[in-house]
Amino acid sequence: MCGIIGYVGSENAVPIILEGLRKLEYRGYDSAGIAVRGVSGFEVVKQKGRLAALEKRLEGQRIQGQMGIGHTRWATHGEPSDVNSHPHLGSGSKIAIVHNGIIENYRQLKERLERKGVVFVSQTDSEVIAQLTEYYYNGNLLDTVIRVSSVLEGSYALAIMCLEEPEVLIATKKDNPLIIGAAADAHFIASDVPALLSHTNKVYYLDDKEIAVIKKDSVQFYNQDKEPVTKSLETITWSVDSAEKGGYPHFMLKEIMEQPTVLRDTVRSALTRGTNNAVINSLDINSFNKIVLTGCGSAYNAGMVAKYVFERLCRISVEVELASEFRYKDPIIDSKSLVILVSQSGETADTIAAMREAKAKDAVTLGIVNVMGSTIAKEADYTIYTYAGPEIAVATTKAFSAQLVLLYILAVRFAVKSGKLSEDEGQNLLREIEALPAKAAEILADIDPIQKYASQCVGCKSIFFIGRNIDYAIALEGSLKLKEISYIHSEAYAGGELKHGTISLIEENTLVVAISCSERLYSKIYSNVEQVISRGAKVFLVSNTCKACPDDKLTLLDLPQVNELLSPSLSVIVLQLFSYYVAANKGLDIDKPRNLAKSVTVE
């Protein structure tokens, strides 16, 4: 949800900022812009459209400067246009800023400045920050930023330059992520780690309302009272290659293919000595009478899968809540509730709000997060990490799979602790979880049938996904994946529910993807398959329990044998690949689907 980058060093900032923006483009891609501190002032170039359009516009321009800021936008206030793109300047072009977030009181601030004669040029909320900073500027940028941030309401991650302080770059944030990268002869600001990895793996994580005064060879941190703050330099373990496509046409395909490794690393982190393992062991299920799983989009779907696993293994009541709803429903939780926040980025605004609501009601909060140093990782009472590495494609795949395995392991540990499973039963299940990476690799070694089938589905107007129990939970994820990257309408239904309304939508050749990995429910889902086939549907049956023979209406995709409760980890791979190849055959921009952004840091 908007990516920002800043650089101060001894090289030309332009290529460094563009390279960083390329790595951040997943956060928003309806316009982009750059400002550098040139010899005679700020040089600003902004362009509606993808980053490539900005790069084209910059071709042949001799913009130079050793300090600069850049932005890739996901519009919230004001349509995508050149003028609404960032960076924004104050009216006298003394201040340049890039902003990620939403300034909720921007109208009042704007009106106040307009009454004083300040002329605004854009429709954005962000411009008010540039205008206000310029209006208040008193010869000291740090003092001015402290003053400005004390009147801003809402969320922001900011990089700010001032013409009169040519060596200083300022960064500050509230409720949106921002990191400061430190290299030998340069410092960086970025919304996320991949933007910095080719320059440094040493970062400071900025906390809310802290201000960083950044120069080429130093960085100092302050709080709102201008007191110095000491922060430690953290080392990122992600490799530079992990943020590159590595020969794949899209990040999404690369990330799907990485799943065996990601599953292996994540399972290992939870089962062998280390912080994940220690956190899981320290949680005592017996002190809770309720588990609530919350998140957004795919993270919510991971919660839907986990509900079946926790309830079956632990016999504890589990609720799954959309984070955007949870925060407004006055949830019935207390100190005996465990609220699990599932989030790849750890920065999703609704999930953060759900976490804060849960904490305010004394619930114990556990984050399942991929990004170290993110808000949920820092604020939740406990955090366990998915070892997915950087996930660049907007549609999540490997992080989702890593969330699932951590949730399975948590459920098994809880079940043993609460006496619902014996030690031996627990060990057996853990061994089955350890076998998942090899089974995932087996599916990925033979993707041709999925690719071929998907290539015949590009003309579909609507695709239904059905399953029962845990297969229904993973059908939700299959349907979401398809919609978001292929733009084909899709719905997921519990198989038994079709006849209560949705079956009226089935017509000749409507495609239904059915998932069946539960021996005990096979006959139930298969009768739903027959019901839709008899009304003209074609069915793609993803199953390890299938006893039927394929024909012109029924295509089978065999999955390896696996415990029913763990089967979503395998069926989801087929569903991801199916969506990927449908979208690829439609020639769509798979890694950056329209209207979306990866990290949704606004409400």
Could you tell me the smallest distance in angstroms from the CB atom of residue 252 to ligand F6R?
9
* Contact flag: residue 486 with ligand F6R (CB under 6 A): no
* Contact flag: residue 100 with ligand F6R (CB under 6 A): no
| Residue from 9, 70, 90, 297 in contact with ligand F6R (CB under 6 A) | 297
Nearest CB to ligand F6R, comparing residues 211 and 475: 475
Could you tell me the smallest distance in angstroms from the CB atom of residue 482 to ligand F6R?
10
Task: Candidates 14-22, 25-33, 339-347, 353-361: pick the segment binding ligand F6R (CB under 6 A).
Answer: 339-347
Residue 377 near residue 346, CB atoms below 8 Å: yes
Task: Candidates 123-131, 292-300, 500-508, 541-549: pick the segment binding ligand F6R (CB under 6 A).
Answer: 292-300
In the block, tokens 């700020």 appear at 42
Could you tell me the smallest distance in angstroms from the CB atom of residue 406 to ligand F6R?
13
Task: Candidates 40-48, 293-301, 452-460, 489-497: pick the segment binding ligand F6R (CB under 6 A).
Answer: 293-301
Instruction: Tell me how far apart the alpha carbons of residues 557 and 538 are, in angstroms, rounded to a whole number.
Output: 14
Tokens of 395: 């549609």
Could you tell me the smallest distance in angstroms from the CB atom of residue 453 to ligand F6R?
21
* Contact flag: residue 175 with ligand F6R (CB under 6 A): no
Helix (H) or strand (E) holding 437: helix 436-444
| Residues of span 567-586 touching ligand F6R by CB under 6 A | none
Residue 343 near residue 351, CB atoms below 8 Å: yes
Alpha helix stretches (DSSP H) within 501-595: 522-533, 568-585
* Contact flag: residue 484 with ligand F6R (CB under 6 A): yes
Instruction: Tell me how far apart the alpha carbons of residues 576 and 404 are, in angstroms, rounded to a whole number.
Output: 15
Instruction: Tell me how far apart the alpha carbons of residues 563 and 264 are, in angstroms, rounded to a whole number.
Output: 18
* Contact flag: residue 600 with ligand F6R (CB under 6 A): yes
Could you tell me the smallest distance in angstroms from the CB atom of residue 347 to ligand F6R?
7
| Residues of span 233-252 touching ligand F6R by CB under 6 A | none
Could you tell me the smallest distance in angstroms from the CB atom of residue 229 to ligand F6R?
27
Nearest CB to ligand F6R, comparing residues 291 and 299: 299
Identify the three-state secondary structure at position 490.
strand
Task: Candidates 66-74, 158-166, 289-297, 575-583: pick the segment binding ligand F6R (CB under 6 A).
Answer: 289-297
Nearest CB to ligand F6R, comparing residues 16 and 577: 577
* Contact flag: residue 298 with ligand F6R (CB under 6 A): yes
Task: Candidates 9-17, 31-39, 79-87, 297-305: pick the segment binding ligand F6R (CB under 6 A).
Answer: 297-305
Residue 211 near residue 149, CB atoms below 8 Å: yes
| Residue from 4, 159, 299, 364 in contact with ligand F6R (CB under 6 A) | 299
Task: Count interface residues toward ligand F6R (CB under 6 A).
Answer: 16
| Residues of span 344-403 touching ligand F6R by CB under 6 A | 344-345, 348, 351, 395-396
* Contact flag: residue 296 with ligand F6R (CB under 6 A): yes
Active site residues: 2, 598
Closest CA to 296 of 336, 349, 357, 339: 349
State which residue has the least CB distance to ligand F6R.
297
* Contact flag: residue 179 with ligand F6R (CB under 6 A): no
Sheet holding 41-48, edge to edge: 41-48, 31-38, 67-73, 3-8, 186-190, 179-183, 202-205, 234-235
Identify the three-state secondary structure at position 232.
coil
Nearest CB to ligand F6R, comparing residues 69 and 388: 388
Tokens of 485: 């990257």
Is 542 exposed, middle or buried, given 0-12, 13-18 or 19+ CB atoms closer than 10 A?
Answer: buried
* Contact flag: residue 321 with ligand F6R (CB under 6 A): no
Tokens of 524: 């139930």
Nearest CB to ligand F6R, comparing residues 133 and 191: 191
Backbone φ and ψ for 493, nearest 5 degrees, come out as -130, 145
Binding string to ligand F6R for residues 180 to 209, with x set by CB under 6 A, is what? ------------------------------
Instruction: Tell me how far apart the alpha carbons of residues 267 and 274 are, in angstroms, rounded to a whole number.
Output: 12
Task: Candidates 6-14, 170-178, 291-299, 353-361: pick the segment binding ligand F6R (CB under 6 A).
Answer: 291-299
Backbone φ and ψ for 109, nearest 5 degrees, come out as -65, -40
Identify the three-state secondary structure at position 257.
helix
Identify the three-state secondary structure at position 217.
coil
Closest CA to 289 of 356, 354, 334, 340: 334
Backbone φ and ψ for 258, nearest 5 degrees, come out as -75, -5
Instruction: Tell me how far apart the alpha carbons of residues 245 and 599 are, in angstroms, rounded to a whole number.
Output: 19
* Contact flag: residue 343 with ligand F6R (CB under 6 A): yes
Q: Residue numbers of the site for ligand F6R (CB under 6 A)?
A: 295-299, 343-345, 348, 351, 395-396, 480, 484, 599-600
